[in-house]
Structure 1
Amino acid sequence: MSPAPEHARSGEPDPEPIRAGAAAPPRRALLIGASRGLGLALAGEWAGHGWHVTATVRGSGGDGLRELADRRPGAVEVETVDITVPEQIAALRDRLRESTFDLLFVNAGVASEVEQTVAETPTEEFVRLMVTNALSPMRVVEALRDLVRPDGTIGVMSSGQGSVANNERGGHEVYRGSKAALNTFMRSYAARHRDDAQTLVLMAPGWVQTALGGAGARLTIEESIPNVVSTLDGLHGRGGLHYVDYLGRTVPW
């Protein structure tokens, strides 16, 4: 005689059968930094693919994201956080403590307003870029990692300019340095969590026509972001750390 099912032996009710043809629940993304540019486009792209997107803005801004949420009720949820303020990261973590996400993606980045060498850069400007581009994204990853499924993905928006090996032209020194620092910090994070099944991604979206990239950039948002989403989706379940561009090509460290 076959043993009784585990739920029967424990006195639990039979599990509810899965109905034929029932739709799978939508995948869930937590997108940090979606008020404009690449972040706003990412929110729209994921929502358009049937994801439920929880996306953040800083303070009372983010009219574009709020308009997207109005157009896609139930698909896009707006949260607020300034990732340079640790207390706000902790408060966001507390508000989302009952949520589970398939993907956490941190889209953060500021550029220097004046082209200067690192030695010419005022200390306050150097600190602003390093805190926003390198330190704060890692604080977000550390604080929110346990909201991501064990087989989910954690990604951060890096840059091709963060590649030390590819830096043969110079320029944008502090921005380059901040993204290279972010890459190194993610590599250290990956080493500490080498036994985890989560996939880690450093994404280089290409030179895109945004407020940060400028009007003369090579790519439009429409040429970059759908490929970013496709590349992230293709890396799902792979595990390990991947430094790739928007077309899925490995970027040299």
Structure 2
Amino acid sequence: MEQWVSAGRHVVATSRGGHTPLDDIAATDPGSVEVEHVDVTDVDQIAALRRRLDGRSFGLLFVNAGVTDEADATVPEISTDEFVRLMVTNALSPLRVIDALEDLVVPGGMIGVMSSGQGSVANNTRGGHEVYRGSKAALNTFVRSYVARRGEDRGPVVLMAPGWVRTGLGGPGARLTIEDSVPGVVATLDSLVDRPGLHYVDYQGRTVPW
């Protein structure tokens, strides 16, 4: 977000609730940043967000939602509740957000979704994080279906693999820092602004195999 603000763009960011660093950024630069609170797994909260944004327009809608499971948990071992939690958060909810907010994106504008390199079926040669992988692969498939029914001439749609980043989700052992990943994510998204169609790419702009 700070990358876009520093480039002079106005950003409406979201968080699940409670005070976050986003609120601190918005407090120091309210003319450039607004923060909305929404749990994207709650359809009523998504609908309420849409109502609050009515009449606005955006050049980019970027949806970032993700939770993970234990690295060694296999599909047969995981509880049904945990399976549902990952699938709803990682695969279903981003499509619900897109469906609710896509009409606010200007013609030819971009829709981006935070995916993962682990969503690649072709690259899955080591296993691990089985349900997380499956949820991101499902997300990729759902977005591909969305583009197929929407039409590729309506602006770019980007599935972004940010790399393995040291966040609450990526963990302390991840290879990249936020400072390593985020500038590349922003630069890659900006490079695809005039390229309609579906793109599955990483933070360095490289195509990720399906």
The interval holding the TM-score normalised by the smaller chain is over 0.9
Alignment of 1:59-208 (within 5 A): 59=17, 61-113=18-70, 115-208=72-165
Q: Per-residue deviation at 1:53?
A: 0.4
> Matches of 1:181 and 1:197 in 2, distance apart?
23
- Equivalence for 1:56: 14
- Percent of residue pairs bearing the same amino acid type: 68
Q: Distance in 2 between matches of 1:91 and 1:63?
A: 20
The amino acid of 1:45's aligned partner reads Q
Please state how far the C-alpha of 1:97 moved relative to its aligned partner: 1.0
CA 1:102/1:166 → structure 2, altered by over 3 Å: closer, same or farther? same
Runs of at least 4 residues off by over 3 Å: none
SS at match of 1:144: helix
What letter matches 1:47 in structure 2?
A: V
Aligned-partner Cα distance in 1 for 2:19–2:160 = 23
Aligned partners of 1:195 and 1:160: how far apart in 2?
23
Contact 2:111 2:157 in 1 (8 A): yes
1:78 partner letter: V
Q: Provide the C-alpha distance between the structure 2 equivalents of 1:195 and 1:44, rounded to a whole number of angstroms.
A: 29
* Aligned-residue CA RMSD (Å): 1.0
Decide whether the 8 Å contact of 1:150 with 1:196 is kept in 2: no
Equivalent residue for 2:5, pick from 47, 61, 78: 47
Aligned to 1:40: none
Cα pair 1:56 1:78 within 8 Å, conserved: yes
| 2:179 aligned with 1:222 | yes
Gaps of 5+ in 1: 1-42
1:180 maps to a residue whose letter is: A
Number of residue pairs the alignment of both structures matches:
210
Matches within 5 A, 1:16-27: none
Residue type of the alignment partner of 1:206: G
Partners of 1:115 and 1:168 in 2: how far apart? 15
Q: Tell me how far 1:142 sits from its aligned partner.
A: 0.8
> Partners in 1 of 2:96 and 2:146 — Cα distance?
11
Which AA in structure 2 matches 1:46?
A: W
Q: TM-score, normalised by structure 1?
A: 0.81
- Aligned residue for 1:45, secondary structure, equals helix
**How far did 1:114 drift?**
6.0
Q: CA deviation at 1:206?
A: 0.3
Aligned AA for 1:50?
G
Residues 174-194 of structure 1, C-alpha deviations (whole Å, 9 max, x = no match): 000000000000000010011
Aligned letter for 2:171?
Answer: G
Using the alignment, how far apart are the partners of 1:114 and 1:170 within structure 2?
Answer: 9
CA offset at residue 62 of structure 1? 3.7
